[in-house]
């Protein structure tokens, strides 16, 4: 099996990631505010739904590129036969490895973005500077573990289902799927994975918004561990 095209994976994955993140950014803002412990209206409601978009724009391309390069490389490295019953396992391992690598870039961007989404009066750079000053580099990686624990189950559901649906569709029509058909398969797989992992996503959001969570707690929780915030969320 030939090695994957790293340049194609980098560029295609990056462009796809940026396109999706920017087009759907308002929905992401609404989701974050719904999950915020402040409540939807206090977190900003429908006002300033593009707050935090600079962080998403900067982090989206390298994040998506890192994921797809890792995903394609691990698939190539494991090279199971396409008819093998181990194919779903290969896709699961490749997606999990991709998420672990991508989260190194995604989490700092996500922390800044989500805090901007629930504090629309603050600029993205101000929030970034404040995190570095108050919490240091560790503050940018607040919620890394919870993000990985959310993203891996998401990918374990999404990518094997996506690949299986494409293979089934290809078999039914006796040719490779078109781009729009792949998109339909991906939409179904992603929607189902999102539904299954939403509780983990809520926990991840509230851990990342820990500075805001502490205002809603009976005592200052700003230095509490992610486990404390997770248990409070539950």
pLDDT the model gives residue 222: 44
d(CA 220, CA 14): 39
Residues 160-182 as b/e (b if ≥16 CB within 10 A, e otherwise) read bbbbebbeebeeeeeeebeeeeb
CATH architecture of 6-233: Alpha/alpha barrel (1.50)
pLDDT, averaged in runs of 10, over the chain (234 residues): 66 86 91 88 87 88 89 82 71 89 92 86 84 88 88 88 91 89 92 92 86 49 49 55
pLDDT the model gives residue 212: 52
Domain boundaries, the chain: 6-233
∠ at Cα 209 (98, 39), nearest 5°?
A: 120
pLDDT the model gives residue 221: 43
pLDDT the model gives residue 217: 47
Residue 71 to residues 26, 157, 208, Cα–Cα distance (Å):
28, 15, 26
Alpha helix segments (H runs only) across the chain: 6-23, 25-35, 53-78, 87-117, 124-140, 144-173, 179-208, 210-216, 226-233
Q: Using CA atoms in the order 118, 124, 128, 129, what is the torsion angle rounded to 10 degrees?
A: -120
pTM for the model: 0.76
pLDDT the model gives residue 9: 75
Enter the tokens of residue 127.
Answer: 């929030």
pLDDT the model gives residue 218: 46
């Amino acid at each position: 099996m030939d090695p994957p095209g790293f340049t194609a994976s980098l560029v295609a994955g990056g462009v796809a990631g940026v396109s999706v993140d920017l087009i759907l950014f308002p929905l992401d803002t609404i989701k974050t505010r719904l999950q915020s412990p402040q409540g939807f209206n206090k977190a900003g409601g429908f006002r300033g739904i593009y707050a935090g978009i600079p962080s998403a724009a900067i982090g989206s391309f390298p994040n998506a590129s890192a994921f797809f390069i890792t995903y394609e490389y691990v698939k190539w490295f494991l090279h199971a036969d396409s008819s093998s019953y181990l194919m779903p396992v290969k896709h699961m391992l490749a997606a999990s490895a991709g998420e672990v690598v991508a989260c190194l870039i995604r989490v700092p961007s996500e922390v800044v973005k989500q805090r901007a989404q629930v504090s629309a009066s603050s600029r993205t750079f101000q929030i970034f500077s404040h995190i570095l000053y108050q919490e240091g580099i560790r503050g940018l990686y607040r919620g890394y573990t919870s993000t990985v624990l959310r993203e891996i189950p998401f990918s374990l559901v999404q990518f094997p289902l996506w690949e299986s649906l494409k293979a089934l569709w290809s078999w039914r029509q006796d040719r490779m799927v078109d781009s729009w058909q792949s998109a339909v398969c991906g939409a179904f797989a992603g929607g189902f994975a999102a539904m299954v992992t939403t509780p983990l996503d809520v926990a991840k959001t509230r851990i990342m918004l820990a500075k805001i969570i502490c205002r809603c707690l009976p005592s200052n929780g700003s230095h509490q561990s992610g486990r404390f915030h997770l248990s409070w969320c539950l």
